[in-house]
Structure 1
Amino acid sequence: MAFNRMESATYLASLVARSLARALQERGQKLGFAPGQFPILLELWSEDGLTQKQLLDRLDIEQATMANTLARMERDGLILRRRHPSDRRSQQIFLTERAREMEAAAKEAAAAAEQSLFSGFRRFEKELMLEYMRMALANTARDGEAS
């Protein structure tokens, strides 16, 4: 039986992810952030001063990738690191004024990228797709815990 990639969820999901990342990159580049930084920014906009360990626990990112992304964000003036007041081994990560000021525009850029993905969808179709995506992610998380 021939493999039909257009019937493969893994293949289609990777195409959708790349397409969204590309759309966010085009918009985010103008603001000064990369798509891989966006989840970290979202967490810090929600709760500034998290440690790297807290970010790792909240986001599904490899330790090395997180370290490299934070280094780039620090270099680009998006974050500052400060020694944790009660745990000398860890550092807290804080947004710079520049990163705080870009929050609304960055979220608008992400919404525009998402809107391009859902162009032509009826509201219930978008809601169904999002629900199916959440269900699939829950399944993969459960499978990951089992292995």
Structure 2
Amino acid sequence: MAFDKTRSAGFLANHMARLFAKGLQQNIRPLGLAPAQFMTLVALWEQDGLTQRELVERLDVEQATMANTLTRMERDRLIERRAHPGDGRSQSIHLTPKAVALREPATAAAGRVNAEALGGLTEEERLLFVDLARRVVASLKQRY
């Protein structure tokens, strides 16, 4: 039986993720942000002072990818690293005032991409789609 990409959840999710990332990139570029930086900022807006390891776990990214992202964010003066109060071997990552000020415009930009993507769905369908996506993510996180 031939592979039918129009019926493959993985293929469609991957394609959708790439399109979301493309839309996000276009919408946050004027703010001087890249998608990986935005993801990291979202985690830090939720809880400032996380360690690099905590960010890796929360965002499901590779350690090297997070290290590169944080280096760029530090260069761009979005974060600062401080000695972790409970563990002298690690550092906590803290938002700068510049990063705090980007919260509203960056999340508004992401909201526009979501609104465009889900614009063809009813409110009930949007809620169902997000609920199903959360459940699929949770299922995959348990397995992988």
**TM-score of the superposition, structure 2-length normalised?**
0.95
Query: What do the CA deviations read for 1:69-97 (whole angstroms, capped 9, x no partner)?
Result: 11111111111111223322111111111
Gaps of 5+ in 2: none
Alpha-carbon distance between aligned partners in 2 of 1:138 and 1:86, rounded to the nearest angstrom: 30
* Counterpart in the other structure of 2:124: 124
- 1:40-84 CA deviation, whole Å, 9 max, x = no partner? 101111221111122123221111111111111111111111122
**CA distance in structure 2 between the partners assigned to 1:54 and 1:36 by the alignment:** 15
Amino acid at match of 2:101: E
Partner-residue secondary structure (3-state), 1:15: helix
The whole-number CA distance in structure 1 between the counterparts of 2:133 and 2:60 is 16
Name 1:24's counterpart in structure 2.
Answer: 24
Question: SS at 1:89's partner residue?
Answer: strand
2:54 and 2:2 map into 1 onto residues whose CA distance is: 44
Paired residue for 2:63? 63
What residue in structure 1 maps to residue 4 of structure 2?
4
With structure 1 as the length reference, what TM-score do the two structures score?
A: 0.93
Structure 1 CA distance for aligned equivalents of residues 85 and 97 of structure 2: 22
CA distance in 2, matches of 1:143, 1:88: 33
Alignment RMSD: 1.1
Equivalent residue letter for 1:38: F
Helix, strand or coil: the match of 2:82? Answer: strand
Residue-pair matches, total: 144
Query: Runs of at least 4 residues of structure 1 off by over 4 A?
Result: none
